[in-house]
Amino acid sequence: MLASARPAKESVAVLISRQATAIRQALVQKGYRFRKFPSQAAWRIFLGSSDDDFLLLKYLGSENRWVLYRGNTDRRKQKELWQIIRGAIAY
């Protein structure tokens, strides 16, 4: 195997780290703030100085998916967040 050849499959931890970094960078560009929960694949997302917040979780296991829980009732904001998140991890 050549030294420059990449493994065919990334580890789950590396994949989550890359996705989380991409999501965070994309949302920070749009004015969102983050707070990471220690020892969990979970982040609280805030928009500016408002009280609107969302909880972004990475479920591991058989599903291995991202889930977004909204802390308010604004479905438009949730849809906007999903568009940013999907765009960030669609590399």
pLDDT in tens, 7-62: 545 677 788 888 999 999 999 999 898 899 998 889 999 876 666 788 999 887 76
Sorted by where each begins, the domain ranges of the chain are 12-89
| pLDDT-derived band at 90, boundaries 50, 70, 90 | confident
Residue 9 has a pLDDT of 57
H/E element, 34: strand 32-36
What CATH number does the domain located at 12-89 have?
Answer: 3.30.310.80
For residue 5, how many C-alpha atoms fall within 13 Å in the half-sphere facing its CB?
A: 5
Integer Cα distance of 3 and 23 in angstroms: 30
Total-model pTM: 0.76
Count other C-beta atoms under 10 Å from residue 52's C-beta.
17
Q: Could you tell me which of 20, 22, 18 has the C-alpha nearest to residue 35? A: 20
